[in-house]
Amino acid sequence: MEVRNRYVTLKHQLDEDQEPKESDFELKDSIISLEASTKSSSNNNNYVLVQNLYVSIDPYQINRMKKQSSSHKAINFSFALSPGQVIDAYGVGRVVASTNPGFEKDDLVAGLVGWEDYSLVQGEFMLSFLRKIDNTTELPLSHQVGILGLSGLTAYGGFYNVGRPKKGDKVFVSAASGSVGNLVGQYAKLLGCYVVGSAGTKQKVDMLKDKLGFDEAFNYKEESDLTSTLQKYFPDGIDIYFDNVGSETLEAAVSNMNMFGRVVACGVISEYTDGKKRAAPNMIDVIYKRITIQGFLTPDHMKDFAEFTTVTSDYLKHGKMHALEDISVGIESIPSAFVGIFRGKNIGKKMVQIVEN
Amino acid sequence: MEVRNRYVTLKHQLDEDQEPKESDFELKDSIISLEASTKSSSNNNNYVLVQNLYVSIDPYQINRMKKQSSSHKAINFSFALSPGQVIDAYGVGRVVASTNPGFEKDDLVAGLVGWEDYSLVQGEFMLSFLRKIDNTTELPLSHQVGILGLSGLTAYGGFYNVGRPKKGDKVFVSAASGSVGNLVGQYAKLLGCYVVGSAGTKQKVDMLKDKLGFDEAFNYKEESDLTSTLQKYFPDGIDIYFDNVGSETLEAAVSNMNMFGRVVACGVISEYTDGKKRAAPNMIDVIYKRITIQGFLTPDHMKDFAEFTTVTSDYLKHGKMHALEDISVGIESIPSAFVGIFRGKNIGKKMVQIVEN
């Protein structure tokens, strides 16, 4: 069996401080031949061929696309991407063929696939990320990519495990209309926290307040002094700052934090494409207010995946949470979808639907 | 009863980015009258009058001497010092008079006293810090100010509770010949860690290696690229960085840290007198390597005081730890002792002996 496979790849690695452009990517063609690949592979006969339906578009991918500096080479789990290579990414698809006893044809699955039509998932490591999706759920399949997928787990694990929140905590979320931020705000509201979000357009700000029930939200582009802005929205200080952007927002949050405040360092999108924008939080504040700044990655919280999906599905079914999705259609839209994230174009979870399901 | 009391005080508050000078201080005179103060005070008859023998000289005091910015006003437990006021500080003394049932004349005590000849310790809060010193110990009284006092507890609580070390961890300590740093290195060696310290003179570096058994030590003033320097001394990365200095040293440590590394934020002496020297650690490293940067203050670890003194006294009696003390004599030497800390003049715990004991 063979399938023709189109995939999005890098033309060249990106410079350290470069914003991505559509022309950095190209769409290529290959043939996936099950016979050839199982013969050549040490994984022998253990594979699942998936036709991808939705693939996730995430800002962290840019860190894999850059020329690797010596410091980043040390981060060896953030597998660097080479030009020409398939870009692996989280997604949802339908099984076309399988020799693995855990999967059969037509199963719906979620896992690490790629920015491509078909993904041949092989090897214990990659197969360990693949899981069957319950066909009977009334929730849209796209939810499995965002709110019930890795973005959801990022928000859940980061907020609960790293943020260690309690009812009444004052929570600030940046990039609050993004794939992770909007969920952190929703979890925080459901726990009984006071929640303020920052975003980059009036439309996003309104949506946070009107649709997601944030207590307050503001457009950071309209604020000249973020420290004063946060002082206004947090007269009693910030207990948890869920950081998706870094730089001056992180600095302003630290200077407004309460004793024993927690900074959940999830992402620093403003620093990904501008190394000069590094945050310099006041360490005197960090010491005297006993602040903890803690980085985390989603795989650290895989042990909570079952709990997270149960809780979150339940919230969704009872209308207590909203899934914000921003879906482009067609594999050729992947480069513009990815580039758009760095320009604040998306509202909620950005994904690309490869084919109709 | 009255005593004549000389005390060191500020002439004026310091500017944000000013190094302290001897001329910022003056020696003043007052009379402590027990009759007058017990009559006027709401604390009534509950006081201990202490003749101070040794007082502690600590860099953190500078943060209390500065004009308070709005951000620092928020740190309300770091009681700001006003010109003319007695500067309270940790120290050791002998009870001259007491109405408190816990203390009697000639008891040796340690606690919050002041940069002065005599301290009248009154009020439940201040009295709660006062404790009797075991007269029978063969250890010098000065040890109670440093290695067995708050400097010791800072090293012990910070290293064990915040750093969460285990045998074999790679530990980097800055200002490693300072009052806290030298003890952190010694605790780390006793636990079986690999320990490297930085200091500012050849004499200090030699002392760390030859006398305290650090695995390595270097003079940061002779290094042009601290990131490469640390890479050389830590080919397997840093697990714990005990930060006493901040700025570029913190940045270099973060870029050399291992997965799940811990930065114990104890002090940032290089930032106390130069706000422009703020550290901008690479947040991408913090996230991908799941680094925790955690500030702490010594009083957070008071619950471990008994354990800490037992363990540390035992190490001292068995020659497993060394007390490094740098003692100036006479109350009038307090300003130069304090100023000297910011110029790297001290080796080990800086203190002033007010009178012979």
Return the C-alpha torsion angle A247, A248, A254, A255, nearest 10: 160
Tokens of A254: 């630290």
Interchain pair B266, A278: CB under 8 A: no
The alpha carbons of chain A give a radius of gyration, in whole angstroms, of: 21
Search chain A and give the residue with CA nearest B291. Answer: A295
Q: How many Cβ pairs closer than 8 A exist between chain A and B? A: 114
Q: Show residues of chain B in contact with A285, CB under 8 Å.
A: 71, 75, 295
Interchain pair B291, A291: CB under 8 A: no
How much of chain B, in percent, has pLDDT values that exceed 70?
94
Residue A12 has pLDDT above 50, yes or no: yes
What domains are defined for chain B?
2-146+324-353 (3.90.180.10), 150-298 (3.40.50.720)
Strands (E), chain A: 2-10, 25-33, 47-56, 88-98, 108-114, 118-122, 131-132, 170-173, 194-199, 216-219, 238-243, 257-265, 292-295, 325-329, 349-353
Instruction: Decide if A243 contacts A250 (C-beta within 8 A).
Output: yes
Answer yes or no: pTM beyond 0.90: yes
Interchain pair A292, B294: CB under 8 A: yes
Instruction: Decide if A8 contacts A334 (C-beta within 8 A).
Output: yes
Q: Show residues of chain A in contact with B63, CB under 8 Å.
A: 284, 288
**Residue reference for tokens 């996730």:** A56
Return the C-alpha torsion angle B254, B255, B258, B263, nearest 10: 0
Q: What is the pLDDT of residue B42?
A: 60
Q: What is the pLDDT of residue B76?
A: 47
CA distance A286 to chain B (A): 5
Reported as a pLDDT band with limits 50, 70 and 90, residue A271 is confident
Candidate from A246, A279, A287 with C-beta closest to B265 = A287
Interchain pair A283, B237: CB under 8 A: no
Between CA B152 and CA B172 the distance in angstroms is 18
Per-residue model confidence as pLDDT tens digits over B23-72: 999 999 999 988 776 666 565 678 999 999 999 999 999 989 988 764 45
CA distance A308 to chain B (A): 21
Between CA B212 and CA B321 the distance in angstroms is 8
Per-residue model confidence as pLDDT tens digits over B201-258: 999 999 999 999 999 999 999 999 999 999 999 999 999 999 999 999 999 999 999 9
Candidate from B74, B283, B295 with C-beta closest to A271 = B283
Interchain pair B290, A280: CB under 8 A: no
CA distance A254 to chain B (A): 10
Q: What is the pLDDT of residue A113?
A: 96
Other beta carbons within 10 angstroms of residue B324's beta carbon come to 23
Single-letter residue type at B264: V
Reported as a pLDDT band with limits 50, 70 and 90, residue A76 is very low
What ipTM goes with this model? 0.91
Interchain pair B292, A288: CB under 8 A: no
Q: Show residues of chain B in contact with A282, CB under 8 Å.
A: 71, 278
Which of A63-77, B132-146, B279-293 has the weakest average pLDDT?
A63-77
Q: Show residues of chain A in contact with B77, CB under 8 Å.
A: 288
